[in-house]
Amino acid sequence: MAVVKFEEVLNDLVNYFILGDPDLLLQYKEEHHLPNDLVTEFTTSEEGDNVVKEGIMVPLPGIENYPYTIYFNLSGETPELMKEGNDLQIKREGYILKVAHESVYLYTIPYLRDYTAEKVRLLKKHRVANIALPNGWYTVTVLGGQTRQSMGLEPTFEFVMTAVQEQPEYTADMNLGFGITSDEY
């Protein structure tokens, strides 16, 4: 597999990104009879921790309000942020992700405020940072920092994803933030 790049990805003025299969989250919501307001549900109960530990989403709190370059790296080669000339600031390992609908999206908190089938349809229509993937389990390492682009060093997140045969153990620390420093902003 390859490295897929997206430019100028915004966080919708909320300091949070979410990586995951949005259809799988909708399925989880329906199976567990959760309300449409997943923001409140996830912040006032254990359900938020459960969906993360079950690989339904990877939360990225503490995101600064920048336009980001996003890489999905499935190459097995040196990540972009670890190449010479780039500025690696964050490396978080231990995340897991389940793909059940052949795609993964990077989306934002406003979608979770009224999480319905219609909202998922709109998310999939408007969120450009997405990648088609075979269904199955993945380990995810999240890298953050700055990568050299045509205009200089740009704020960047890179998701290094590796397919695995069975559900891996979740070992990441959910309490860590993902704020990075930008030379440009």
CA distances to 6, 139, 145, 178 from 183, rounded to whole Å, are: 20, 30, 10, 16
| Dihedral-angle region of residue 152 (phi above 0 means left; psi in -120 to 50 means alpha; beta otherwise) | left
- Domains in the chain (CATH in brackets) are 3-164 (2.60.34.30)
Look at the chain and count its residues.
Answer: 185
**Phi and psi dihedrals of 183, rounded to 5?**
-75, -25
Task: Place 63 in a pLDDT band, splitting at 50, 70 and 90.
Answer: very high
Q: What mean pLDDT comes out for the span 9-14?
A: 86
DSSP-assigned letters across all residues of 64-93: -SS-EEEEEE-SSS--GGGSTT-EEEEEEE
Asked if residue 177 has pLDDT above 70, the reply is: yes
DSSP-assigned letters across all residues of 21-52: -HHHHHHHHHHTT--S-HHHHHHHSTHHHHHH
Report yes or no: 161 and 76 within 8 Å, Cβ to Cβ: no
Confidence (pLDDT) at 183: 87
Task: Place 12 in a pLDDT band, splitting at 50, 70 and 90.
Answer: confident
For 29-52, how does the pLDDT look when each residue is reduced to its tens digit (9 = 90+)?
A: 999 999 999 999 999 999 999 999
For 84-112, how does the pLDDT look when each residue is reduced to its tens digit (9 = 90+)?
A: 999 999 999 999 999 999 999 999 999 99
Task: Place 1 in a pLDDT band, splitting at 50, 70 and 90.
Answer: low
% of the chain surpassing 70 pLDDT: 99
Confidence (pLDDT) at 74: 95
DSSP 169: P
For 128-168, how does the pLDDT look when each residue is reduced to its tens digit (9 = 90+)?
A: 899 999 999 999 999 999 999 988 899 999 999 999 999 99
Which of 94, 105, 67, 86 has its CA nearest to residue 152? 86
Q: What mean pLDDT comes out for the span 53-74?
A: 96
**Distance from C-alpha of 128 to C-alpha of 139, rounded to nearest angstrom:** 22
